[in-house]
Amino acid sequence: MPLTSNFNQEPSPEKSETISGEKLPKVEKKFFKESFRIVKILKVLICLIFVFLVLYFFWSNFGLGLRGRKTAWQAVFLSNGQVYFGKIIRETKNILVLQDVYYLQVTQEGGEKNVQPQLSLIKLGEEPHRPEDEMRINKEHILFVEDLKPDSEVVRIIEEFKKRK
């Protein structure tokens, strides 16, 4: 059998199909089907990545601590023993932002040991250095966060303080 080159020969009609008016060999048709399949897979992957990024953005910026209760009062307990009361307005992966912030200050009248310490609720911003009424707390220092009930003693005192201002 003599060796001949197939480069100049037309593909046989039984081994080709027409796409866009051109005759293509079955090998090319198979290539097109596989490339369309790859494109579909890439589209699905891109959609999944997009959904993941959107969910990650919302989770990291609005976090689980908010629980959709931006108007509720929370108590934030820190690892140094300090407790802050306020409203969580934003939460990211590393930071919790608290607004309308109050904290407890312990004072002991006189030097006597038997005297009960007095607790005062202090509004952030009333200090001599006049900080803004917003705290960004590193989550590494937060032990836990509690939602305060509307009939809480702390909430009652805060509401009375806000009425006087």
**Local confidence pLDDT in tens for the 165 residues of the chain:** 455 555 555 555 444 455 555 665 565 666 667 778 888 888 989 989 988 888 777 665 555 444 445 568 999 999 999 999 999 998 888 999 999 999 988 877 766 677 777 778 888 887 788 888 889 999 999 999 999 998 889 898 888 888 887
Q: For the domain with range 74-164, which CATH number is right: 3.30.70.380, 3.30.2320.80, 2.30.30.100, 2.30.110.10?
A: 2.30.30.100
Kindly list the distances between the CA atom of residue 15 and the CA atoms of 5, 32, 44, 138, in Å, as whole numbers in the listed order.
Answer: 18, 15, 33, 69
SS3 6: coil
Q: What is the pLDDT at residue 71?
A: 61
Listed by start position, the domains of the chain span 13-62, 74-164
- Give the DSSP H or E segment for 71: none
